[in-house]
Structure 1
């Protein structure tokens, strides 16, 4: 595992920032795959290796498994929940510690804009290893679930009604919070689109979350922000210009609403720096951000 990451990090270190910017634009619908690959071709023309470029920029989920699905300390299953205002029903990956307890602190884990991929499932397992019951819904359940491919997943998620997706995650949060094994305190952590969803859940229902950790997520719509009551731990990468430009206005609204928040800006970190399946992964900053996440949840959920 460490050797694979070392190779990925070395390749990523040689790639110019503009390539990561192109990938971010591509990953968020700003350009199609053909245009993205054409732009990478301009780097190949000046001496970069296409294999190094693609291995650093595109995900390799074999790198992301930190906790095996058959780890003795956890038990995982798939659970469905009702979502009457969304797509009718939803489905997600539920992981809890094998140590039997009457109740667990619970955390909703929210994926990026491409469905419940292996990296996000592994994040849920990491939380279960740390003593939480974690639930990772798949926004793509109405269209068959994550298709095993990020490009297809991204296209499928883009095809769905955004308001219905949001309702699905609200329903998932309520399902988890009211679960018979829940201690009634709900945390949420999300990445990219999932970071936005954490901000949205905090804003759409003041009583839903006990703690939220959005990783490089944009804020909820401005009129909703006054409703935020849950403490927030905001995790941003220094080189994430697209998301970071939304922060000053969001921070002003959080202050106005007297929200208990902390924001950490991770030096030289890119958008997606916690995702250990791509070359954007920053091991040192990702580990620091994760330890802060666990400490934050321990403070507010236990």
Structure 2
């Protein structure tokens, strides 16, 4: 198993804690992984290791660091009782503009430590990655069911990186009409891909959450690796 090491990403307000997976010699692209609403959980770490196994270096910023006086970012186990309510409470406390700026700083840090930079975001992180991409111009973006995307569509013309968007057609949080608006906005970029996963709910990739859809998760991950390999070859 690939171990992670703690690193610190410089920001104007102090160092943001993050985890680094994979090579540290600057010889490969770096994928900045944007967490789900629950924080940098073991599920997110598993996906980081999967990307490292594919040959990438991976940076997972702890975007909730500003919510703790000590800078130790909270995380919530998806299986805890009332986990979603607790996580939504954290997300509502977060200054989204500050989190976006932290993400831009993470991309800058990744550029200093790799040959190119991609963004991969899940749920809350899918929308956050989109907002970061509008400012930081990564080399590629993958967004899984970005929960904030319906409210971020004015940023779409500024997201010029090749992008891949995954949504389930049974998403309980982003209905078909909202998905259609997002699809129309993001695919105005001719290098954007959109994949709808039949029968999949929101957060279908999270293998410990109640919404997990194994078939959709496997299909989406293979598409993600293909997309990244085409635009950010690691080997």
TM-score (norm 1): 0.67
Give the 3 Å change call, closer, same or farther, for CA 178–278 of structure 1 in structure 2. same
Aligned equivalents of 2:174, 2:232: Cα separation in 1: 27
Aligned equivalents of 1:147, 1:203: Cα separation in 2: 26
Q: Is the contact between residue 78 and residue 92 of structure 1 (CA under 8 Å) also seen in structure 2?
A: yes
Q: Does 1:268 align with 2:192?
A: no
Aligned equivalents of 2:215, 2:87: Cα separation in 1: 29
Deviation at 1:162, TM superposition (A): 2.0
- Give the length in aligned residue pairs: 220
Say which is worse superposed, 101-110 or 283-292, in terms of deviation. Answer: 101-110
Q: What CA deviation, in whole Å up to 9, does each residue of 1:64-119 have, x standing for no partner? A: xxxxxxx2xx34201101111xx43211110005xx86511111111111211111
Residue 246 of structure 1 aligns to a residue whose secondary structure is: helix
What residue number does 1:284 align with? 215
Following TM superposition, where does structure 1 have runs of at least 4 consecutive aligned residues deviating by more than 6 angstroms? none
Q: Is the contact between residue 101 and residue 132 of structure 2 (CA under 8 Å) also seen in structure 1?
A: no
What residue number does 2:21 align with? 95
Residue 243 of structure 1 aligns to a residue whose secondary structure is: coil
What residue number does 1:80 align with? 8
Q: Is the contact between residue 229 and residue 259 of structure 1 (CA under 8 Å) also seen in structure 2?
A: no
What residue number does 1:171 align with? 105
Q: Is the contact between residue 106 and residue 186 of structure 1 (CA under 8 Å) also seen in structure 2?
A: yes
Structure 2 runs not aligned, ≥5 long: none
Aligned equivalents of 1:243, 1:251: Cα separation in 2: 12
Deviation at 1:299, TM superposition (A): 0.5
Q: Is the contact between residue 39 and residue 76 of structure 2 (CA under 8 Å) also seen in structure 1?
A: no
Give the 3 Å change call, closer, same or farther, for CA 201–102 of structure 1 in structure 2. closer
User: Which protein is richer in helix relative to its size?
Assistant: 1
Aligned equivalents of 1:223, 1:156: Cα separation in 2: 25
Aligned-CA RMSD value: 2.0
What residue number does 1:39 align with? none
Residue 161 of structure 2 aligns to a residue whose secondary structure is: coil
Deviation at 1:291, TM superposition (A): 0.7
Residue 219 of structure 2 aligns to a residue whose secondary structure is: helix
Q: Is the contact between residue 109 and residue 136 of structure 1 (CA under 8 Å) also seen in structure 2?
A: yes
Give the one of 155, 162, 181 matched to 2:96.
Answer: 162
Deviation at 1:147, TM superposition (A): 4.3
Structure 1 runs not aligned, ≥5 long: 1-70
